[in-house]
Structure 1
Amino acid sequence: MMRSSVVLGLDFGGTKIAAAVGELSGQRLGATTVDSLPEAGAEAAMARGLSAARALLADVAPGRELAAVGAATLGIPYDDRVELAPTFPGWGELAFGQLVREAFPGVPVRLGTDVKAAAAAELRWGALAGCDPGIYLNLGTGLAAAIVAGGTVISGAHGASGEIGYNLRTAADVWIDPAERTILEDLVSGQALEVTGSARLGRRVTAADVFASPQPDAAALTDEFNRELAMHVANLAIAIDPVRIVVGGGLVGSWDRIAPELRRALDAAVPYPPELMVARFPSDAPLVGALALGVEAAGLVPTMQDIEY
């Protein structure tokens, strides 16, 4: 008796790389994660992720045909490069799509950004279902948002809609190239908080450590982080007038230190303050979205009851 095919979802992030194998219905069979280790180089990270994915396939779907692959990544992926991925040195030079296709020859592959894949997962099966419009805010290694409207995730003319990490911070930034100024992501992101926190506290710390620390320097840093984040999210909400903003990414682990200030800013500044909540898939929405990309690449449409596992 022939066994049915499976699909593979890959999520390449700045901190970890995740893979999931699912049935053609989208039902998850297994998942695994490995550290990205950006200090070891982009090529090594890609190889590590692909190797982990092949091992997962052999473990949870031995002998079964791979029908398609969905691959999400930080930045904007193409077959020969990844654009707008400054937080991961060397990632932009990778032939991203080509490497995924070479790892699984002859298998259909669909690429997507991690944040837009996460937003699609939340729109279909999570906290953005029925929200028109809505905003998915990713607080992770980097910073980005995704806008959903009319039942879809807005891509933009170049796939860069919602890349708020490049926002101007002050009037002095106007007419200045991003490479010559401090972009928002340089101050408001998990990586930025880790770098600045380590410098100010005199020891290596994570973003979560900074939020949890009782030291005055840490408190001042988190206040700066929250204030700047709140300003840009409030401005985005004023422009979009969303029903709801949902938040995912690694910094959701410090949500109790972020949410009150963000809520206060939205209530004070936005004419019609939106709802604010943690995403249904706070830590793995990009992986859920990548698995859905794989199902779609196989020529199927995943259903809510199957994909949400």
Structure 2
Amino acid sequence: MCPAPLHETVPATTPAASLVFTTVLSHGPLTRAEVARRTSLSPAAVTKAVRPLMEGGYLVEDLDEGARPAIGRPANLVRVDGGRALFIGVKVTGDEIIGVLTDLCCRIRVARHMPLTGREPAVVLPALIAMVQELLVEADGFGVRVCGLGIAVSGDVDRLDGVVRYSPFLDWRDVPLADVAGTATGLPVTVDNDVRALTVAEQWFGAGVGLSDFALVTVGAGIGCGLVVHGRVVSGAHGVAGEIGHLSIDPLGPRCHCGNQGCVEGIASDPAILREVRAATGRPLASVAEALELARGGDPSAREVYARAGEAIGRAIGSVVNVLGPERVIISGEGLAAYDLFAEDIRTAFVRSAFGTAARCDLMTRPLPFEEWARGAAATAIQSFIGPHTYQD
């Protein structure tokens, strides 16, 4: 195994160079003229930024025979060499650890799942390190350095310090995850909130490519929201921007695990739905899948629970759109398994809540497998590798 030196980074030492590299990474291959147009940089500035990136082998140039002008030399396409570096992304849930090995373009090369026997740091951290070591062995077969490790955890995560301040699903407080993982693996480590990490992946490699303002709303075990404003993933002054799951939309509603009444998460998360369907039907259901089956079977009480959940999600999305005015809201997460039951309620509540032309915001559903959350963690490691200009908000 040959982890990268702790301070190896892409030679993008200026905001302009970072902008050029991330533009080619997300939109490439591109000609230099197209890079200049997309970044609003001068041709000279683009050339200056591209040169060290090509010398380092991170950008390569391909002749584009189809772009040959009538006069002069043919235009050359510049693209990122995805095989230049590898990255590991790890998503920690309450039940398992999901790990992926990706290239520099965040394409998954290897994926692994490891069940957990407990949620305590003493149980999770050794398992996480074992997962990373296993993926490092896999990386040896590619003959390319692993240049970073990204870890995604739900809750209040301080990316700057790499500390999990509070994760309600894991019941963690003040766990110095980056220090522990970095010491054990020798890799540069980026720790971030799982929804923000997924938002980075969508911004650079998914449904958010090319959008300067969008939101990612995730439904499932919790209700999360990642925000991109003017091209930046926003974490806010205290690192918890986008926590729409804890908007209190019904003061008389059920108590949320955060302690407040009527939070969106306390109404529309999978655990909340299961609790409410049990109470409404009097059936000792064992799982969300059973609640879903009951609702799809036509049980009116179960269907009403899903309708209320959809309304809560729609109202929350309406609040986001009213405040930030994004071009698109991407709805994802494991809770989309029930989308057929509450899609209409989400849309109706959103339109009712959105003010004026805000209702024109594009609502897009995007089912993603759990490996995509780990890929999001890898995307944050790639982001850190490129440099701080790509993620400071």
Task: Give the whole-Å Cα distance in 1 for the aligned partners of 2:217 and 2:371.
Answer: 14
* Structure possessing the higher radius of gyration over alpha carbons: 2
Q: Are 2:233 and 1:153 aligned?
A: yes
- Residue of structure 1 equivalent to 2:74: none
Deviation at 1:163, TM superposition (A): 0.8
Equivalent in 348, 351, 363 of residue 276 of structure 1: 363
Cα contact 2:97–2:114 (8 A) shared by 1: yes
Equivalent residue for 1:242?
Answer: 326
Tell me, yes or no, if the aligned pair for 1:119 and 1:285 is still in contact at 8 Å: no
3-state SS of paired residue (1:115)? helix
What TM-score do the two structures reach when normalised by structure 2? 0.66
Query: Structure 1: 5+ residue runs without aligned partners?
Result: 302-309
- Tell me how far 1:264 sits from its aligned partner: 1.9
CA change 1:53–1:191 in 2 (3 A) is farther
Q: Following the alignment from structure 2 to structure 1, what is the Cα–Cα distance between the partners of residues 227 and 213?
A: 7
Give the Cα separation in 2 of the matches to 1:197 and 1:51: 39
Name the CA distance, whole Å, in 2 between partners of 1:204 and 1:146. Answer: 32
**Aligned partners of 2:220 and 2:334 also within 8 Å:** yes
Write the distance in 1 (CA, Å) between the matches of 2:369 and 2:214. Answer: 16
Quote how far apart the aligned CAs of 1:201 are: 4.8
Counterpart-to-counterpart distance in 2, 1:227 and 1:44 = 38
Number of residue pairs matched?
294
Q: Does the CA contact (< 8 Å) of 1:122 and 1:280 recur in 2? A: no
* Structure-2 separation of matches of 1:198 and 1:56: 41
Q: Secondary structure at the match of 1:21?
A: strand
User: Which segment is superposed worse, 232-241 or 139-148?
Assistant: 232-241
Q: CA deviation at 1:30?
A: 0.3
Which one-letter code corresponds to 1:237 in the other structure?
A: V
User: Runs of at least 4 residues of structure 1 off by over 6 A?
Assistant: none
Compared CA separation, residues 282 and 45, structure 1 to 2 (3 A):
same
Identity over the aligned pairs, expressed in percent?
20
For the structure 1 residues 280 and 251, does the alpha-carbon distance in structure 2 shift closer, same or farther, using more than 3 Å as the test?
A: closer
**CA distance in structure 2 between the partners assigned to 1:167 and 1:119 by the alignment:** 20
Is 1:251 paired with 2:331?
no
Give the structure, 1 or 2, with the largest relative contact order (CA under 8 Å, sep 6 or more).
1
Shift of 1:197: 3.7
Matches within 5 A, 1:180-259: 181=261, 183-198=263-278, 200-213=281-294, 214=297, 215-259=299-343
| CA spacing shift, 1:121–1:157, aligned 2, 3 Å | same
What is the CA distance between 1:41 and its match in structure 2? 3.6
Distance of 2:150 and 2:227 partners within structure 1:
21
The CA deviation at 1:60 is: 4.9
2:166–2:172: 8 Å Cα contact kept in structure 1? Answer: no
Where does structure 2 lack aligned partners over 5 or more consecutive residues? 3-82, 389-393
